[in-house]
Amino acid sequence: MNLHWFESLAEAKREIEVWPQDCNEARPRMALNDLSSGELARKYGLRQYVGGH
């Protein structure tokens, strides 16, 4: 979502709501040995923290 044009505020809200899950489930990280955050959490039986301040 680095550069994305949205057609409406509603579309932007939908995309922003699903972004954390996509980021945690579908994007492998080199620092995690090419696993996504979700894969790492499942592999080691960890609870996954998503979002928040």
In this predicted model, what pLDDT tens digit does every residue of 29-41 receive, in sequence order? 899 999 988 898 8
Domain boundaries in the chain?
A: 9-43
- Which DSSP string do the residues of the chain spell out, in sequence order? --S---SSHHHHHHHHHHHHHHHHHH--BGGGTTB-HHHHHHHTTPPPP-S--
**pLDDT for 53:** 47
This prediction has a pTM of: 0.54
pLDDT digits (tens, 9 = 90+) for 1-53: 556 788 999 999 998 898 888 888 888 889 999 998 889 888 998 876 655 54
**pLDDT for 2:** 55
Other C-beta atoms lying within 10 Å of the C-beta of residue 37: 19
Pull the structure tokens for residue 23: 């980021």
**pLDDT for 49:** 63
